[in-house]
Amino acid sequence: MKAKKTHYTSYLILAIFGLYMLFPFVSTFFYATSTKWSNTMLPNDFTFKWFIQLIEDPNFAAAVIRSFALTFTSLAVVLVVMVPTVFLVYTSFPKVDQFMKGLVLMPYAIPGVILATGLLRMYSGTVIPMYLVLVGALFIGSLPFMYQGIRNSLESIQTKKLIEAAEILGATRLTSFIRIILPNIRLGLLITTLLIFSGFFGEFVLTNLLIGGRYETIRIYMLRRMNENGHLASSIMVAYFLLLIGISLVITYLTSPDRRGPKKSKRHQILGNRISIAESVSILKIGVKKEKRQRI
Amino acid sequence: MNFIAIDHVSLSYGDSKVLKDISLTIEKGELITLLGPSGCGKSTLLRVLAGLETFQEGEIYLDGEEISERAPRDRNVGMVFQSYALFPNMTVFENIAFGLSVKKLSKSVIKEKVNAVLQLVNLEDKADYYPEQLSGGQQQRVSLARSLVIEPKVLLLDEPLSALDAKIRKQLQMDIRALQKKLGITMIFVTHDQEEAMILSDRIFVMSEGEIVQQASPSELYAKPKSKFVATFIGNYNILSADELKQLDSAFSPKRINNKYAIRSETIRLEPIPGEEAIRFHGKLEHTITLGSTIRCYYNTGSVQLTVDLLNRDLEKRELDQDAELYIHRDHIVAIEG
Ligand SMILES: Nc1ncnc2c1ncn2[C@@H]1O[C@H](COP(=O)(O)OP(=O)(O)OP(=O)(O)O)[C@@H](O)[C@H]1O
Ligand SMILES: [Mg+2]
């Protein structure tokens, strides 16, 4: 009996916590689906017109495309540069590795606004387009994540041992990287990439200050419409939030314990064991922090 | 010309000397073990041979060629690691085929060779499994097959059986030795387990603190350890000073002052030994430990405590606190260094 009671209590606590977390989202949702909701307890009506208006607005579609474009360019640059670099540093330059571990934390030390102002001073009026400066800044911003993420993946698959084994078998460093290391860190990379994706997609401070209205991303669009119409802005918020939830669910799925254990498809096996839940949660936490920081 | 020659090799990490002027030679088709306690440099020496570690002084020759400067992939050696180091994204077949595929052999040749070694290590039915789906012993057999298939000039094994349980370990020891004889391949086997070294090797190189302190066949090493270190490491010896020995054998006269003497515990007997060279002394049984087929008895002679291993029979002769007559043949008293 007693054990059951504690059970109820913990469920209760969980439920209250869940409500607390969900409340802003639910109320945003209702605000987004109402025409008027000011001095009543519940909204006056229920409508999807804001969503429809949003979808029909060509500026919205353009903003989404711009956000994706910016995100994918930055991600591509980050991955292409960082994965081989971290691999080389990790396998061949242990001293540089020590140094890098500290260095990559630097972006945390510089608030976004200051970074943006500094970049503006440095690059405005030069031939370098601000778009590139932004991609560069996002690259730097993602370093703490990327470096540690890739490094953890490499460590968890015993990269050094595997490379040694491969080289003795006659493989070059490049062959071992492509045929052994990449396939084995694929999941870790995917998760890190998804996290950075949501970071980039929701990036506001740098984008706004560096390019602002000239390149309206989803977050800047959101801000503009917020001043015009709160209901519409809420519907954007809801859509944006659903996207983030989608990404989180994918990550949760990829790291779920059910996916481990023997006798699974080839893909599953590779994923199994490689990343602990704790690890992914800790990555997620940093992700959340970053989100907050950018909103402020 | 020796098949493998390590010539005055030294290696340090910063200030700590890990390999100190090591020289040794190995013949083709030999299985030798590097035996020594943890941290004595066995793995380092093996990695030097594989080209995974750069060293400061000396040269290495393999099959008449100097290979000291060559990259691991150009040395034509194979290596089996304690942690297996199988590629998790590849099946057993793909793991074994890897070394052949990077040499760009044709698909049909690869298939033929891989299937042949799979048969050799008894894993034909596991070709499509992933490493994760295999037991430790099976994984190590895959690792062995993966190294054998490229037909290396020498196969290096770094404590390959240490992570396995006793029964599988015994089985694989036999398998490895049988394979080695069948294929006539040269092997260097690292272990810290003296029994494993005895079972497997043609010759044993005992290492201590970065040096090779003795090299000998298993039986020779067991019968004639050169130093106190070797004696205590490889077997259960009684180590006596010259004075202590004189207490047991009044006719004994030391040749050198600082020598010590090793007496294997199973050479001391309770029955008289015929002949001139037998000595006799008294001891009191203090306690016993049953090891199985033998019983370890601790006798106090008044001046020294001796360990004596007796076959587990003759119960009446082993009563505690009884004075007993003990015998030993002088040939079994081995002079060793300090
Ligand atoms: N990369 C390194 N940097 C500094 N010292 C090292 C390094 N690798 C090994 N050593 C030192 O070299 C010595 C020999 O190491 P090695 O791994 O060869 O020992 P070992 O005989 O194989 O021991 P074990 O039986 O525990 O595997 C150890 O004292 C170790 O601390
Ligand atoms: Mg070792």
> What number is the ipTM of this complex?
0.86
Count Cβ neighbours within 10 Å for each residue of A264-275 and write b for 16 or more, e otherwise.
Answer: beeeebbbbebb
Tell whether B231 is covered by a domain.
no
User: Which residue is it, tokens 């970071």?
Assistant: A199
Among the four given CATH numbers 3.40.710.10, 3.30.1390.10, 3.30.470.10, 1.10.3720.10, the one describing domain A71-295 = 1.10.3720.10
Read off the pLDDT of residues B143-192 as tens digits, 9 standing for 90 and up: 999 999 999 999 999 999 998 999 999 999 999 999 999 999 999 999 99
Distance A88 CA to ligand 1 centre (A): 24
Distance A31 CA to ligand 2 centre (A): 66
Is pLDDT of B281 > 60? yes
Tell whether B46 is covered by a domain.
yes
Sheet of B31-35: strand order equals B77-80, B154-158, B186-191, B31-35, B203-208, B211-216
Residue B221 and residue B302 share a domain: no
> Could you tell me the pLDDT band of residue B275, with boundaries at 50, 70 and 90?
confident
Residue B70 and residue B167 share a domain: yes
Ligand 1, atom 8, lies closest to the CA of B44
Tell me, what DSSP letter sits at residue A269?
Answer: H
Report whether A154 contacts A90 (CB < 8 A).
yes
Give the end of a domain, one of B208, B226, B244: B226
Tell whether B66 is covered by a domain.
yes
Tell me which chain B residues have a C-beta less than 8 angstroms from the C-beta of A175: 102
Residues 79 through 108 of chain A touching chain B, CB cutoff 8 Å: none
Is residue B160 lining ligand 1, measured as CB closer than 6 Å? no
For B164-261, where are the alpha helices, taking DSSP H only? 166-183, 194-200, 218-223, 228-234, 242-248
| Residue-level pLDDT at B316 | 60
Q: Which two tokens stand for residue A189?
A: 């990379």
Q: Judge residue A160's burial from the number of C-beta atoms within 10 Å of its C-beta, 0-12 exposed, 13-18 middle, 19 or more buried.
A: middle
Q: How many domains does chain B have?
A: 2
Query: Which residue in chain B is spatially nearest to A169 when comparing CA positions?
Result: B99
Tell whether B64 is covered by a domain.
yes
Read off the pLDDT of residues B99-120 as tens digits, 9 standing for 90 and up: 999 999 999 999 999 999 999 9
pTM given for the model = 0.81
* Ranges in chain A, pLDDT < 50: 1, 260-296
Is pLDDT of B135 > 60? yes
Is pLDDT of B194 > 50? yes
Assign residue B260 a region (left: φ > 0; alpha: ψ between -120 and 50; beta: otherwise): beta
Ligand 1, atom 22, lies closest to the CA of B43
Question: Which ligand 1 atom lies nearest to the CA of residue B53?
Answer: 1
Residue B125 and residue B35 share a domain: yes
The nearest CA of chain B is from the CA of A241 a distance in Å of 35
| Residue-level pLDDT at A198 | 83
Residue B170 and residue B312 share a domain: no
Residues 34 through 93 of chain B touching chain A, CB cutoff 8 Å: 50-52, 71-73, 75, 77-79, 81, 83, 85-90
CA–CA separation, B207 and B198 (whole Å):
15
Tell whether B174 is covered by a domain.
yes
Residue B78 and residue B147 share a domain: yes
> Mean of the pLDDT values across residues B303-325?
81
Read off the pLDDT of residues B204-244 as tens digits, 9 standing for 90 and up: 999 999 999 999 999 999 989 999 999 988 888 999 988 88
Report whether A274 contacts A184 (CB < 8 A).
yes
| Residue-level pLDDT at B31 | 97
| Residue-level pLDDT at A5 | 61
Residues 135 through 154 of chain B touching chain A, CB cutoff 8 Å: 146-147, 150
CB contact under 8 A, A169 and B98: yes
Residue B218 and residue B115 share a domain: yes
> Could you tell me the pLDDT band of residue B257, with boundaries at 50, 70 and 90?
low
Mutate to test the interface with B, among A157, A169, A274 (most CBs of B within 10 A): A169
CB contact under 8 A, B103 and A170: yes
Residue B253 and residue B202 share a domain: no
Question: What's the CATH code of the domain at B29?
Answer: 3.40.50.300
B319 versus A265: which is more confidently predicted? B319
Report whether A57 contacts A216 (CB < 8 A).
no
CB atoms closer than 10 angstroms to residue A57: 14
Ligand 1, atom 26, lies closest to the CA of B38
CA–CA separation, A240 and B299 (whole Å):
84
Range of the domain at B250: 236-336
Tell me which chain B residues have a C-beta less than 8 angstroms from the C-beta of A266: 130
Query: Which residue in chain B is spatially nearest to A265 when comparing CA positions?
Result: B130
Question: Which ligand 1 atom lies nearest to the CA of residue B47?
Answer: 18
Give the end of a domain, one of B226, B245, B273: B226
Tell whether B207 is covered by a domain.
yes
Ligand 1, atom 29, lies closest to the CA of B39
Residue B196 and residue B63 share a domain: yes
The nearest CA of chain A is from the CA of B51 a distance in Å of 8
Residue in B79, B85, B133 closest to A262 by CB: B133
Read off the pLDDT of residues A167-212 as tens digits, 9 standing for 90 and up: 999 999 999 999 999 999 988 898 889 888 888 888 888 888 888 7
The residues spanned by each domain of chain A are 71-295
Tell me which chain B residues have a C-beta less than 8 angstroms from the C-beta of A170: 73, 99, 102-103, 150
Residue B176 and residue B104 share a domain: yes
CB contact under 8 A, A166 and B50: no
Question: What's the CATH code of the domain at B329?
Answer: 2.40.50.140
Residue B263 and residue B141 share a domain: no
| Residue-level pLDDT at A283 | 43
Q: Which two tokens stand for residue B115?
A: 């299937």
- Short-list B80, B53, B221, CA closest to B137: B80
| Residue-level pLDDT at B32 | 96
Residue B246 and residue B197 share a domain: no
Count Cβ neighbours within 10 Å for each residue of A219-240 and write b for 16 or more, e otherwise.
Answer: bbbbeebeeeebbbbbbbbbbb
Residue B140 and residue B92 share a domain: yes
| Residue-level pLDDT at A203 | 84
| Residue-level pLDDT at A273 | 40
